[in-house]
Chains A and B, each alone.
Chain A
Amino acid sequence: SAVISQKPSRDICQRGTSLTIQCQVDSQVTMMFWYRQQPGQSLTLIATANQGSEATYESGFVIDKFPISRPNLTFSTLTVSNLSPEDSSIYLCSVRENEKLFFGSGTQLSVL
């Protein structure tokens, strides 16, 4: 199964700043996904990041707020821009391998 390294594991940011989260996979994967999970809640898909094309965003998520890069088949970044306290959440990257989803360990973001 794919091994995913996600960093940072947690961060505390000031309102109005941005945070970039990195996701590194130990094998080449076509499909990578970014999820948000608010405390005690379900996993909500932010966007699908495919290498060589623009990310596909889900309803309620826009590129200006959540720009994504996918420069190659093993790496992706998610930036959460113009932070507000409502952005405080856990952000998870995941990859699809053999129909299954594997998740990174998550980034816990707190916005003051």
Chain B
Amino acid sequence: QQPVQSPQAVILREGEDAVINCSSSKALYSVHWYRQKHGEAPVFLMILLKGGEQKGHEKISASFNEKKQQSSLYLTASQLSYSGTYFCGTEMGGGSNYKLTFGKGTLLTVNP
């Protein structure tokens, strides 16, 4: 079951903030966030495990609401290097049934 990401695209000026959402119709074991720049492979940003935790990585953080089966990625004081397509990946099984299903992506453009 593919997670639903929103918005599909967002354009920011350097220094502005953005929120990207990811929701699932099924119970989740974990949510992953990846960023892919044009012509490159996706790069891991963070993982949030079942338990409603929030994680941060410099000015990028994320939350996971297990009850609502939703995750949000927060980008604060955006930099030009943040431009790219952000994918959430959801895992339902955990353990040996590991399988990551990706959303359609959110294209983030940061302009000077």
Interface status of A31 (Cβ within 8 A of chain B): yes
Instruction: Tell me which residues across on chain A come within 8 A of B100, comparing CB atoms.
Output: 33, 45, 101
Q: How far is the CB of A63 from chain B (nearest CB, A)?
A: 18
Instruction: Given A100-B47, A102-B44, verify A48-B99 contact (CB < 8 Å).
Output: yes
Instruction: Given A42-B2, A42-B104, verify A100-B44 contact (CB < 8 Å).
Output: yes
Residue of A nearest to B44 (CB): A100
Instruction: Tell me which residues across on chain A come within 8 A of B42, comparing CB atoms.
Output: 43, 92, 101, 103
Instruction: Tell me which residues across on chain B come within 8 A of A102, comparing CB atoms.
Output: 44
In the complex, which residues 1-57 of chain B have their Cβ closer than 8 Å to any Cβ of chain A? 2, 30, 32, 34, 40-44, 47, 49
Assembly CA distance A38 to B14 (angstroms): 30
In the complex, which residues 43-93 of chain B have their Cβ closer than 8 Å to any Cβ of chain A? 43-44, 47, 49, 87, 89
Using C-beta atoms within 8 Å of the partner chain, give the interface range for chain B. 20 to 34
Size of A's binding interface in residues, CB under 8 A: 19
Instruction: Tell me which residues across on chain B come within 8 A of A44, comparing CB atoms.
Output: 102
Cross-chain contact B102 with A92 (CB below 8 angstroms)? no
Instruction: Tell me which residues across on chain B come within 8 A of A103, comparing CB atoms.
Output: 41-43
Q: How far is the CB of B18 from chain A (nearest CB, A)?
A: 19
Contact flags (1/0) for A68-112 with B, using CB distance below 8 Å?
A: 000000000000000000000000100010011111111000000
Contact flags (1/0) for A25-38 with B, using CB distance below 8 Å?
A: 00000010100000
Instruction: Given A48-B99, A101-B100, verify A42-B87 contact (CB < 8 Å).
Output: yes
Choice from B30, B49, B87, B99 contacting A43 with Cβ under 8 Å: B87
Q: How far is the CB of A73 from chain B (nearest CB, A)?
A: 16
* Other contacts beyond A43-B42, A43-B102: 7, CB < 8 A: A1-B44, A42-B2, A43-B87, A45-B101, A92-B42, A100-B32, A103-B43
B interface with A by C-beta (< 8 Å): 2, 30, 32, 34, 40-44, 47, 49, 87, 89, 98-105
Give 12 pairs: A residue, B residue, CB < 8 Å, sorted on A. Answer: A41-B104, A42-B87, A42-B105, A43-B42, A43-B87, A43-B102, A96-B98, A99-B30, A100-B44, A102-B44, A103-B43, A104-B41
